[in-house]
Chain A
Amino acid sequence: MSGVTVDRVPPLFGSCPLAESILEAFLASSSLRFGRQRSQIETAFVLRRGVAALMVATVSTPFTAEPPTADRRAEVRLLAEMQSVQPSGELWVGLHVELRPGWHTYWTNPGDSGEPVRIDWKLPPGIVTGDIVWPAPHRLPNPPFMDFGYENEVLLLIPIRTADLRRTASVTLEADLRLLVCKDICVPERSTVAITLPVSRIPQKRSDVEPLFAAARRRVPRAPPVSWRLRAQARDRTVIMTIDTEQPPHAIEFFPLRPLEIRHAAPQPVRRSPAAVSLTLEIDERRREPLSHLSGVLVIDQEHSVTVDVPVLAERPR
């Protein structure tokens, strides 16, 4: 897949430019799974080269998925936030996953086992997709280990950019999915999802999915509040992450973006004081090098989480 880079992510937080630029920075700095790293600026978008062609309008329902079978543990749909795509513009789509009770799927760092969803897009010319914008994960204990992901329901937001579709009546976005769902056993569920959207200059929100998209946005980690000062200090085989703030959050949990840095299953003792809260994070027992950077998500609750990207100050020799 060649990479002509696109420099901007379509607005996620609408009227908040600060959140936009920070989200962009987060997307640019997020890395993929081990062994498949891409350069920072390629991360947000990958443009598929193709010869522009007229698309024949296809008649279809707004979204389709593999027909459910009795065995399926996850229902997956591709949803578009808007009723149409602009000839040149941006749009958010979402992969809506509904899981049977007891089954879960995984975050970008799945933890000690598991695998995040794999999406193979089939797109017409003029359409570019970006990386998934992951909602804050949950802990999925697996004693003595720990995974990270989602139960019940999750909407994975994906940015789409269109270019030069003036002469196109409609476009179909299709994706082959591989979604690992686990309970006591693991099943890699394959499905194909597709959505056909008319091309129109005037974007209108789909009211039926508006609540879903709004809820998904609330679950996406944001930049830390300006009133916070986040710092990380190495100490023995731990990293002490401290937030200096006048109103320290109550419960907090840290989720590392990459494996082999912080031990996933380790408890994270919290110490709270009037103007600070600190978490003690254990270095993964297999890691040999010191950890120089702490990257991940700090979750206060499902709708309040922040991205963390701070250097780890080396321990001063004693």
Chain B
Amino acid sequence: MKIRFFAFVLALTSCGAPDTFAGAARVGDAAPGFTATDSNGRTHRLSDYKGKLVVLEWHNRECPYTRKHYESGNMQKLQKEWTGKGVVWLTVISSAPGEQGYVTASEENAHLEKMHAAPTAALLDPKGDVGRLYGARTTPHMFLIDTNGTLIYNGAIDDRPTSDPSDINGATNYVMAALQEAVSGKPVATATTQPYGCNVKYARGTS
């Protein structure tokens, strides 16, 4: 009896942090459907965009890794180029209130203007629902959904997992590559990579 109880306690204590599992957004599967509100109060559903390519970009304006891609203009360049080609680009902010990166709608609009950012919309996800649904781990964390609603890319923006803007030139941009392959009807060669950046600032102390 004692041994079983001890083993039970051992099993519990060896578990580490409680499991508050996020959703599974696996390449090849249907991208999880979501509903979210943008910084202009407009509601977006993933299903609204069937027939279009959709990029999801997890974002925290103060994270050094996000800043790497914004202060260099790298992210904005991608946004402009691909929204210009009919891709829907959704920036998602899953920082909880009080956490770094949390913004009100008007703060986000001011920020978009200041950075000359050009997403289709900036989705405000302060409860972290969309973030958890997708398993968004970092800022930035990038997803590409094809015209059928299938997830075809999940991971890092590029292959230089640093916060140094000088690492942008010469990096392989996985998102750009995936977009190019998708528009030319090719399979995405590098479809899942480990994203890099600051952790997404979900509410602490809760799951």
Task: Report which A residues bind B (CB closer than 8 A).
Answer: 33-35, 112-115, 118, 139, 141-147, 178, 180, 182, 184-188, 250-253, 259-260, 265-272, 279, 285-288
Contacts and interface: CB of A to CB of B under 8 A. Distances in A.
14 contacts: A34-B193, A112-B199, A113-B199, A143-B20, A143-B206, A144-B132, A185-B63, A186-B199, A251-B14, A265-B19, A270-B11, A271-B11, A279-B14, A286-B24
Contacts of B138: 112-113
Nearest to A272: B7
B207 interface: yes
A265 B135 CA distance: 12
- Give the interface SS of chain A, mostly helix, strand, loop or mixed: loop
Candidate in A33, A178, A265 with the most chain B CB atoms within 10 angstroms: A265
A141 B17 contact: yes
A187 B22 CA distance: 26
Candidate in A180, A182, A185, A253 with the most chain B CB atoms within 10 angstroms: A185
Interface residues of B, number: 50
A188 B64 contact: yes
Given A113-B199, A115-B162, A146 B16 contact: yes
Contacts of B198: 113-114, 182, 185-186
A268 B14 CA distance: 7
A253 B162 CA distance: 28
User: Which 9 A-B residue pairings sit nearest by Cβ, starting from the closest?
Assistant: A141-B17, A267-B15, A113-B199, A285-B24, A35-B159, A259-B194, A144-B20, A186-B198, A112-B137
B27 A288 contact: yes
A143 B27 contact: no
B21 A144 contact: yes
Interface string B55-66: 000000011110
Nearest to B136: A145
